[in-house]
Chains A and B, each alone.
Chain A
Amino acid sequence: MSKPHEVIIGLEIHVQLATRSKLFCGCSTQFGAEPNTQTCPVCIGMPGTLPVMNRRAYELAVRTAAALDCEIAEFTKWDRKNYYYPDLPKAYQISQYDLPFSENGGLLVHDPKQQIEPRFIRLIRVHLEEDAGKSMHDEAAGRDDSRIDLNRAGTPLMEVVTQPDIRTPLEARLFLTELKLVLTYLGVSDCNMQEGSLRVDANINLHVDEGGETVATPIVEVKNLNSFRAVERALEYEAVRQLDVYEETGQRIGDVPKQTRGWDDAAGVSRAMRHKEESSDYRYFPDPDLVPVRITAEQIAAARAAVGERPAELRARLEREFGLGGYDSDVIVNGGRELVDYFLELAERAGDGKLASNWLQQDVMRALNDRAITIGEYPVSAAALAELLAKVKGGELDRNRGRDVLADMEAHGRGVEAAMASLGIESVDDDALVALCRELIAANPAIVADVQAGKAKAAGALIGQARQKNPNVNPGEVRRICLELIEAM
């Protein structure tokens, strides 16, 4: 049996900021252009060129730090991180070393499925830096040429570093999911992992309980994590592997240099990466080409005020004001701020949060999914849908007829009344309804007998028959009238 232990995880997340131009020059940051078409003398590091900071990138970064409850420095500066690599044209990366623009802060992580208790994961820092270019190694056919694309070089990156507060691979995934949601709400990044606008490295080791003494195992950095699910799987794998290694070798932290391992998602294993210069010395020093950045206390306060409701706060509001459960609030909030706004208007007008939530999730979101559109493109306004819900709630339409009406509204952009008219739905007058009920009672003595015997449920069969004869009848009304007539017999 393996020894009791705790898994210790810290994450480093690189997020590309959604600016139109790069961090230190005017080149476009658009993804997918032909290699080396979005470059200029500055971002390819030509001699004599100088960087000029993109203030917009700094503003987006400050907005993020405010949303993550970080302390924001009134004075920050740029440092050079010196290392050689062909996709780093200046042979240094402009980054932030000892005075990042923000520190501390954190993010509350919750699990909609409630497998874990909500946990607050602290952040060490958030800083800004420029991205490197991309190396494309063509190792096939014995070629060892590499090609370099510098389109990405100089793209603004925000690095978010957590404290080693994460205790399970699941928590790591949930943290990333929540972080991505916050960043999406802020509009600071598109967080597209496929395009590399969100990248994750994980540090993991174990604290093994050796009869009361806690022994820390060597820290391993895991790279090449291409999805949040991959992060979770890699960390699950790595925790088991590290325990095996520990039990075999007894290696503790400090016994061996920090190792970097690459995750192979297809094979489901991590592999040691060849890393000749294990202890790189980046020779950080302040970049003399850039003036320090200053921000006033008032500007920081304004950035904090502009953050608005964050996902966690919205979930709490949906639960508090509209009585939704944790699962429902999570689904709606995960749909994005626009969807939440749609819900709020719908629930407000319909006067029924749960009904609004059900229709939003089961009908509207399904339609969005099927048609691959956003809520902004959805043809039925919250006001129109609220009218429909009022009719359903009032019993004028049952759920199925309501769906037919909604489908017609979606397809033709019609209002509720027009959609009902086009479907031939009209209210049946009371005399006709009573006549129909009498007819059914006369034709179904067995059902009548059941009802009289106290099985009120049996009346359901009468409703079914009534709808077959006239689809416009209000099922509730049919039921009420039939029960009244039988009672009076």
Chain B
Amino acid sequence: MFIPHESATDLVALIHSGDLTAVEVTTALLERIERHDASLQAMLRVDNQAALAQAEAIDARRRRGEPLGSLAGVPVAVKDNMCTRGEATTCASRMLEPFVPPYDATVIGRLREAGAVVIGKTNLDEFAMGSTTENSAFGVTRNPWDPERVPGGSSGGSAASVAAGFAPLALGSDTGGSIRAPAALCGVTGMKPTYGRVSRYGLVAFASSLDQIGPFGRSAADVAVLLETIAGHDPADTTSVDVPVPRYSESVSRPLENLRIGWVKEHFGAGIGDDVAAAVREAIRTYESLGASVREVSLPHAKYSIAVYYVIAPCEASSNLARFDGVHYGMRTDEAVMRAELDDERARLEKAGDERGLADMDTAMVRLYRKTRAEGFGPEVKRRIMLGTYALSSGYYDAYYKRALQVRRLIREDYDRAFAEVDMIVGPVTPTTAFRLGERVDDPLSMYLFDLYTCGANLAGLPGISLPCGFDGQGLPIGLQLQAAPFEEEKLLRAAHMYQTATDWHTRRPELA
């Protein structure tokens, strides 16, 4: 038995039976992180003592004969944009470097109740804005399959940690593809649940109407266990929906009969890599061989989804991130330096007799805001704040935000029509496999196009799952995306499990240096 490659479900069984202790599991994984994370940088913070203390508590419960939770002793890595009480939660931003929340996110509370061990916080693009995890203020995460390549983003640290065997499970957040895309690039299984399926309370908001927390694992069966743990209505999040949570972990192994799958022509148009297209087509044939019927469906407004997404998400972000102003928490610019700067400016203007300049000078308060935000945010975050602020401005609101909301509804209606005909839409997750670090950092537009196949599900509020369906010529994983109607997570998990029973792509592991 090699603990870092064991599934969460097997680990739970072994811990329940007493064949393995939670401390043994956590120790094995901490050692693996210790050995390999210096080069991967998937983890932002790992507190060995705290992780072992959680594991010891689980073992103590077992010794006392107390009931154990569904994830007893299973280490879970958590994206560092979910609040953990008494522990830093930085969103990979200088702005929140000093921030220690006095509360747990609802999902963290549910993990703790289930007996999971929060093993560490994972790297991400700053405030979850990005597709490569290169926008982190604290270092670049590398893809375990090829350390010269990106792991995808923004939940790159969570995806890489599961691929690298640092934890069997991880939590990510998905606003435009931020779980599904890194899952594809790192060769793991990741799901974005229906909007409202999982509480957002304690998730530092990027774009509130699109953000959703979801699970990573190395199989659909493991993802099912984690989703079951975190899903469900939360009175603290009124956008979470009060719909019963099925026992995903029990139903996941039941194959679907008479499965109707649809594919979308636009998913195979310009921009998609040949290897990706071929692997996805092969996966569709696999479903056919498993008894599914296949037909083409149309999503005529899908081509607008990137444009709509890059209006709505920055608008909401510009407002959500306005609170980071140096007044209440997080970082604040050096006030002594700021005051000296203002004094110099004033002296210079007085000397020049520039009355107008003096009248226009920032107050100390305004300069505090300006400098704090200039120093605290990275370039991608600033870019999106500016985009959103512009689009919401008086005179532009109707042309951008309001129009985007209208097209968003059309996109949702496309999906509604499609799901009247098929159970699932099957397609690619990303246009290509993992690209090289630094390759697109100066080309935000091509970076944004990486969300082409994923952001539709966020705009429509649908669940989507990403699972491995092959490798390209360079040995890099390719992802397959399944999307379904709202609250059909169970269908997606069962369909993914069917595929993983018929194929072994998900069992491949990268060799770490």
Interface residues, chain A, with chain B CB atoms under 8 Å away: 41, 44-53, 80, 82, 84, 86, 89-92, 144, 146, 148, 276, 281, 283-285, 288-291
Contacts and interface: CB of A to CB of B under 8 A. Distances in A.
A45 B324 CA distance: 10
Contacts of B208: 288-289
Contacts of A48: 82-83, 89, 101, 103, 105, 201-205
B309 to A, nearest CB: 14
Contacts of B200: 50
Contact of A283 (B105, B323, B363, B392): B392
Contacts of B103: 41, 46, 48-49
Of B316, B330, B364, chain A has the most CB atoms within 10 Å of the CB of B316
22 contacts: A46-B101, A47-B83, A47-B89, A47-B99, A47-B330, A48-B89, A49-B103, A49-B201, A50-B200, A50-B239, A52-B236, A52-B238, A80-B319, A91-B322, A146-B365, A148-B327, A276-B363, A283-B392, A283-B394, A285-B401, A288-B316, A290-B238
B328 interface: yes
Contact of A281 (B89, B201, B239, B393): B393
B409 to A, nearest CB: 14
Contact of B327 (A86, A144, A289): A86
Nearest to B365: A86
Contacts of B207: 288
Interface in B60-83: 82-83
B239 A291 contact: yes
A90 B365 contact: no
Which of A46, A144, A290 has most B Cβ within 10 Å? A46
Contact of B329 (A46, A86, A288, A291): A46
B328 A285 contact: no
Question: Interface SS of chain A: helix, strand, loop or mixed?
Answer: loop
A145 to B, nearest CB: 10
Contacts, number: 101
A437 to B, nearest CB: 84
Contact of B319 (A281, A283, A290, A291): A283
A48 B204 CA distance: 4
Interface string B314-326: 0110110011110
Given A47-B89, A89-B323, 6 more contacts: A48-B82, A84-B325, A89-B328, A90-B323, A91-B323, A146-B365
B475 interface: no
Nearest to A150: B328
A187 to B, nearest CB: 27
Interface string B204-217: 11011100000000
A49 B205 CA distance: 9
Contacts of B82: 48
A89 B323 CA distance: 6
A281 B237 contact: no
A400 to B, nearest CB: 66
Nearest to B208: A288
B369 A281 contact: no
Interface in B379-412: 389, 392-394, 397, 401
Nearest to B364: A144
Nearest to A89: B328
Contacts of A144: 364
B18 interface: no
Contacts of B101: 41, 46-48
B102 interface: yes
Q: Which 3 A-B pairs have the closest CB atoms?
A: A91-B322, A288-B209, A288-B208
Interface string B47-67: 000000000000000000000
B8 interface: no
Contacts of B89: 47-48
A281 B394 contact: yes
Given A48-B105, A48-B202, A52-B236, A82 B319 contact: yes
Nearest to B210: A288
A26 to B, nearest CB: 10
Contacts of A289: 205, 208, 238-239
A37 to B, nearest CB: 15
A91 B318 CA distance: 10
A290 B209 CA distance: 10
Interface in B84-136: 89, 91, 96, 99, 101-103, 105
A47 B393 CA distance: 24
A91 B365 CA distance: 14
Contacts of B239: 50, 288-291
A53 B238 CA distance: 9
B235 interface: yes
Contact of A285 (B99, B102, B392): B392
A50 B204 contact: no
A486 to B, nearest CB: 88
Contacts of B237: 50
